[in-house]
Structure 1
Amino acid sequence: MPDENAARPAHPAAGPRRPAAPRTAGARPAAVDALPDAGVDTVVGVGAAAPDAGAAPGASAPPGPEPTGYRRVFAVREFRVLFTAHALSLLGVVVSEIALTVLVYGLTGSPLLSSLVFALGFLPYLVGGTLLSGIADRHPPRRVLVVCDLMCAVCAAVMALPGTPVAVLLAMRCLIAVVAPVFTGTRTATLTDVLGDGDLFVLGRSLLRIVSQSAVLTGFGLGGVLLTVVSPRQAVAVTACSFLSSALLLRLGTRRRPARARGGPLMRYSLQGFRQVFADRRIRVLLLMLWAPPMFVVAPEALAAAYADEIGAGTAAVGLLMCAMPVGTIAAELYAGSLLSPSARSRIALPLAACGLLPLLFVPWAPGLGWVLLALVSAGAAGAYTLGLDRWFVEAVPRELQGRAMTVQTAGLMTIQGVGMALAGAAAEFWPAGAVIGGAGAVGTVCCVLLALRCRRAVASGDAPARH
């Protein structure tokens, strides 16, 4: 799912800009827009760009921000640890989903129960993100991350035990999904501690998204190969090991930091944070802008099998249809993160978000599978809009609310995608799959254009709460 430098005046043709806020006692200045590439290994300050390493004392900074590039993010040791732990646990989740699907189907012969393995990866996010989000702010982040990984490892170990009933398998899968938004929200908030809340944060979060998209492309293939060598339960045991490895990396490779805030009872504190997030107009609009495109863009993936059958493309086309949008997203994020400046990424954010679903309109009239794949790759490439919105979002959220806000964002994103898939499937019961995909593009474009206009006004107004 979710950026611009704080000290720039708004310009009508350049997308929303956050006007400079007056410095008040206790207010936290805006983060560094971008760090120069020459010899700076860490974030050296806030409120002003870092000087070039080779600049003479007193020399003025370069006139414009330069892209930091992904290599600057990997120069931060703690981020490398977070990145590796993320890749390990994510591959474990993907492999376990395949293994559990095969295992449940083998035990029951029920397509419905086997499909619940995937459904339970979406639905419990709403519970965890709403009722447990306070954990991300009330406890030291490293402890939260390690405990979440250990809980997931225990759940995977229970699923790997011989003779575990199907009901317990599904319950453990559900528990992992409840924990997931707390873990993800805490990790995202931790990125602001590790990388700051400027351009390095945007690029760091982009890299984590790229890993997630890559896992879709490689994880299912690796899982399928693994299941030709080991049993489904043994594959789930591999997942438990990946969670344990992630927990060990996070425990030994990241710094201990204090909790961001203190509060009362957990659920009341979590719900209070939920209300605070949606009470702020700017945060609310940014959240909706981060959620709306994914709700509609999942239609082609949800209907890949039905659409392939509709055009007579065969089962091989299903995999191509499923992979097309992740390929576009990965390529676009790599391009935007590597070659575009922070201001350029901010300028293209709202146009991409507003128009990114237009390629889906082409699907019902496409003359062949190749053209459909091109349309889906184009729709996926529009996902680069998140690099612009991520920074606006993190700058709008007060520090003491960051963990809960990031958890709510993650939970909402996963939930809205599940709703989008369900609605696409329901619509395909009455209309052809191609028409449903085109309709999702049309309805989604209208919604996203309206939201982009509201988002532009909200971001330009500069009425975000003070950062503490």
Structure 2
Amino acid sequence: MVTDPPAGRRVRPREVREDLHPEEDSAPVTYRDVLAVREFRTILAAHVLSVAGGVFAEISLAVLVFRQTGSALLTGLVFALGFLPYAVGAALLSGLADRYPPRRLLVACDLLCAACMALMAVPATPAAALFVLRFAVASIAPLFTGTRAASLADILRGDAYVLGRSLVRIVAQSSQIAGYGLGGLALVWLPPRAALCVAVGTFLGSALLLRLGTGDRPARAARAAAPGTGATRRLLGDPRIRALLLMWWIPPMFFVVAEGAAAPFADAAGAGAAGFGLFLAAMPAGTVAGEVLAGTLLGPAARDRIALPLAAVSALPMAAFALRPALPAAVGLMLLTGACAAYTLGMDRWFADAVPERLRGRAMSVLGGGVMTLQGLGMAAGGAAADVLPPYAVIAAGGAIGTLSVLGVLRSVRATGTGRSYRSREEVTT
């Protein structure tokens, strides 16, 4: 466990980049210090564009499919394909994240996504092809997010990396909330295919920012011995990395059960469309608030100390739905659930310490692919269960089962210690 660095002086951007571990620096790092790094600002701006483009594309494609087919099931499949192909992409493409220069890979992913969306916007594209293209975009996503997450560790070091990851998540949550609202408004004036063209522009803009505003670094596999076959299997075989991956995967899978049951819950509460939207926005808003408070008010050691306790209680507010709360109380409970996600700031540093640099891109791709795939399954399970059970009971069950599951994972996280052993073994063997 690291100790909080003493207050007294501001870290200059140059120092943020040079220090590997927060305990080696004598000054605290802040969000302002991280934003002072020009290359990180470029990545963050590109992230805003790509998230907004993805949201625009998802809404536009859903409307387009519904107008072409009139099928609610196929329209729902558009949203499901935003989650489930992550497993395919993570399994098949994650190794590329360490084999090619990160800037080249990030730009290529953005251009491929833009090309897929441009084909979606062509009037002659049949409905079946729309689903194939949607699957392709979602399969590319884990490679892109894993490569970008690994690149942050080349740009930001120590606690600056943790706060940089936090800012990326904050921007993603905020951009999704704003993107769904703006996307819905845009479709009032624009036909779906024109809105898809807007999404093409955002991905091209992201590619341009990354090409011109980030450094041209060599592939991580070129900085050390190239990873051999079975690298993913070796990552999953290490007890510490496996425990941390489960800690990333399991809580969100149960959090989204509430989102899967949100529509029937709002209907049962007599809240209407406005209440439905408020309920859905509560957990992302709580997540943003929790991360900002933890990143601003707490130092690295304090964030380490609260990580496991926060994770342990993170799903308990959902279990309180057994009391059949009214909409205002339900929104408050979802805010609390989101705020507990501040445990991820501690998890970021532990995971970065546990994974060797030459496998960092693969590890981050596997992490992201698992999170999104299990969230898709959790959301689908919540919606299916709410068809046969009262929605408040479904959410409460998700909270109770989720809490028990997380407690089991936490035992493994505690048992595997500080997480430096895997990196040491890899460096010795190479």
Give the TM bin, normalised by the shorter chain: over 0.9
2:13 to 31, 41, 66: 41
Structure 1 or 2: more helix by fraction: 2
Post-superposition offset of 1:44: 2.9
Question: 1:311: how far off?
Answer: 2.2
* Range with greater deviation from structure 2 (319-328 or 302-311): 302-311
CA distance in 1, matches of 2:385, 2:127: 30
What amino acid sits opposite 1:105 in the alignment? F
Aligned length: 422
Match of 1:221 in 2: 181
> How far did residue 36 of structure 1 move?
7.3
Shift of the alpha carbon at 1:460?
Answer: 4.3
Please state whether the residue corresponding to 1:345 is helix, strand or coil.
helix
SS state at 2:334 partner: helix
Assess, with a 3 A threshold, how the Cα gap between structure 1 residues 49 and 344 changes in structure 2: closer, same or farther: closer
Give the AA of the match of 1:232. Answer: P
Matches within 5 A, 1:343-362: 343-362=301-320
Which letter maps to 1:259?
Answer: A
Query: Residue 363 of structure 2 aligns with which residue?
Result: 405
Secondary structure in 2 matching 1:464: helix
Kept after mapping to 1: 8 A contact 2:57/2:195: yes
1:293-312 matches, within 5 Å, as 293-312=251-270
1:430 to partner: Cα distance:
2.8
Q: CA RMSD in A?
A: 2.1
What is the distance in 2 between the residues matched to 1:231 and 1:200? Answer: 43
Q: Distance in 2 between matches of 1:257 and 1:35?
A: 34
- Counterpart Cα distance in 1 of 2:334 and 2:302: 24
* Counterparts of residues 59-458 of structure 1 (less than 5 Å): 61=26, 66-196=27-157, 198-261=158-221, 272-458=230-416
For the 8 Å contact 1:186–1:407, the answer to whether it is kept is yes
CA deviation vs aligned residue, 1:254-289 (integer Å, no higher than 9, x gap): 1101111169xx9x96x7221011011100000001
Shift of 1:450: 1.7
Task: Give 1:454 shift.
Answer: 1.8
For the residues of structure 1 that align with 2:19 and 2:325, how far apart are their CA atoms?
Answer: 55
Flag the 1:464–1:224 CA change in 2: closer, same or farther, 3 A. same
Q: Which amino acid is 1:225 matched to? A: L
Tell me if the contact between 1:307 and 1:434 (Cα under 8 Å) persists in the aligned partners: yes
* CA–CA distance in structure 2, aligned partners of residues 315 and 175 of structure 1: 32
The whole-number CA distance in structure 2 between the counterparts of 1:36 and 1:87 is 33
Give 1:170 shift.
1.1
Shift of 1:35: 10
Conserved? CA contact 1:34–1:200, under 8 Å: no
- The 1:449/1:49 distance shift into structure 2, 3 A limit, reads closer
* Distance change >3 Å, CA 236–CA 296, structure 1 → 2: same
Tell me by how many angstroms 1:230 deviates.
Answer: 1.1
Q: 1:74-120 deviations in whole A, cap 9, x for unaligned?
A: 11111000000000011000011111111110111011111111111
Residue-by-residue CA offset, 1:154-197 (whole Å, 9 max, x unaligned): 0011111122111111111110001000000000000000102x
Change (3 A) 1:455 1:105: same
Identify unmatched segments of 5+ residues in structure 1. 9-31, 52-60
- Write the deviation string for residues 309-356 of structure 1: whole angstroms up to 9, x where unpaired: 122222221101100100100001011111110111110001111111
Q: Which deviates more, 403-412 or 67-76?
A: 67-76
CA distance in 2, matches of 1:178, 1:44: 34
C-alpha change, 1:294 and 1:34, in structure 2 (3 Å) is farther
- The alpha-carbon deviation at position 39 of structure 1 amounts to 5.0
> Post-superposition shift, 1:33?
7.7
Distance in 1 separating the partners of 2:9 and 2:378: 41
- Distance change (3 Å), C-alpha of 1:461 and 1:412: closer
Quick one: distance in 2 between partners of 1:132 and 1:37? 43
Name the CA distance, whole Å, in 2 between partners of 1:452 and 1:178: 30
Give the TM-score taking structure 1 as reference length.
0.86
Report deviation, 1:48.
7.5
Is the 2:87–2:373 contact (alpha carbons within 8 Å) kept by the matching residues of 1?
A: yes
Structure-2-length-normalised TM-score: 0.94
- Structure 2: gaps (5+ residues): none
Q: Distance in 2 between matches of 1:230 and 1:319?
A: 22
Work out the CA distance in 1 between the residues paired with 2:387 and 2:146.
36
How big is the shift at 1:442?
0.4
Q: Whole-Å Cα distance in 1 between the matches of residues 207 and 234 of structure 2?
A: 31
Following the alignment from structure 2 to structure 1, what is the Cα–Cα distance between the partners of residues 136 and 8?
43
Q: Distance in 1 between matches of 2:100 and 2:331?
A: 45
